[in-house]
Amino acid sequence: MSDPLVDPAATPDELAFEGALRPTTLADFVGQPKVKGQLAVLLQAARLQDRAPDHILLAGPPGLGKTTLATIIGNETGRPIRYSSGPAIQHAGDLAAVLSALVPGEVLFIDEIHRMSRSAEEMLYLAMEDFRIDIMVGKGAGAASIPLELAPFTLVGATTRSGMLPAPLRDRFGFTAHLEFYETDDLELVLRRSSRLMELGIEPAALAELAGRSRGTPRIANRLLRRVRDWLLVHAGSSDLEGVRAALELYDVDEAGLDRIDRAVLHAIAHRFSGGPVGLSTLAAAVGEEADTIESVVEPFLVREGLIGRTPRGRIATPSGMRHVRADSQDATLDGV
- 109 pLDDT band, cuts 50/70/90, is very high
Give the 3-state secondary structure of residue 176: strand
- Identity at 40, one-letter amino acid code: A
Of the residues 154, 160, 217, 293, only one is catalytic, namely 160
> What is the per-residue pLDDT across 15-32, written as a single tens digit (0 to 9) for each?
555 666 788 899 889 989
Specify whether 13 is catalytic.
no
Q: Determine the Cα–Cα distance for residues 328 and 322; give it in Å rounded to an integer.
A: 10
The confidence score (pLDDT) of residue 279 equals 92
- The pTM (predicted TM-score) of the whole model is 0.81
Per-position DSSP letters for 209-261, written without gaps between them: HHHHTSTT-HHHHHHHHHHHHHHHHHHT--SSHHHHHHHHHHTT--TTS--HH
pLDDT over 70 (residue 284): yes
Residue of 3, 68, 77, 111 marked active site: 111
Q: Is the dihedral of CA 104, 108, 113, 115 positive or negative?
A: negative
Tell me, what's the pLDDT at 5?
Answer: 44
Q: What is the pLDDT of residue 9?
A: 46
Q: How confident is the model at residue 99 (pLDDT cuts 50, 70, 90)?
A: very high
**Could you tell me what percent of the chain has a pLDDT over 70?**
88
What is the spatial distance between Cα 286 and Cα 289, in angstroms, rounded to a whole number?
Answer: 8
Q: Has 323 been annotated as catalytic? A: no
Closest CA to 215 of 1, 61, 46: 61
- pLDDT number for residue 317: 92
Catalytic entry in 66, 170, 223, 227: 66
* 219 given a catalytic annotation: yes
| Active-site residue, selected from the candidate residues 219, 226, 263, 315 | 219
Averaged pLDDT of the chain = 85
**Least confident span in 53-67, 230-244, 258-272, 290-304:** 230-244
**Residue scoring higher pLDDT (167 or 9):** 167
DSSP label of 182 = P
Residue-level pLDDT at 16: 56
Confidence grade of residue 78 (pLDDT, cut at 50, 70, 90): confident
What's the confidence (pLDDT) of residue 330? 61
Catalytic (active site) residue 111: yes
Identify which has the larger pLDDT, 292 or 330: 292
Q: Specify whether 217 is catalytic.
A: no
Residues 110, 85: Cα–Cα separation, whole Å: 5
So what's the pLDDT on residue 17? 56
| Measured distance CA(224)–CA(132) in Å, rounded | 45
Residues 6+ apart with CB under 8 A from 244: 202, 206, 209, 210, 228
Of 3, 67, 71, 213, the catalytic one is 67
Task: Show Cβ contacts of residue 109 under 8 Å, excluding neighbours closer than 6 positions.
Answer: 67, 70, 71, 74, 81, 82, 83, 84, 156, 157, 158
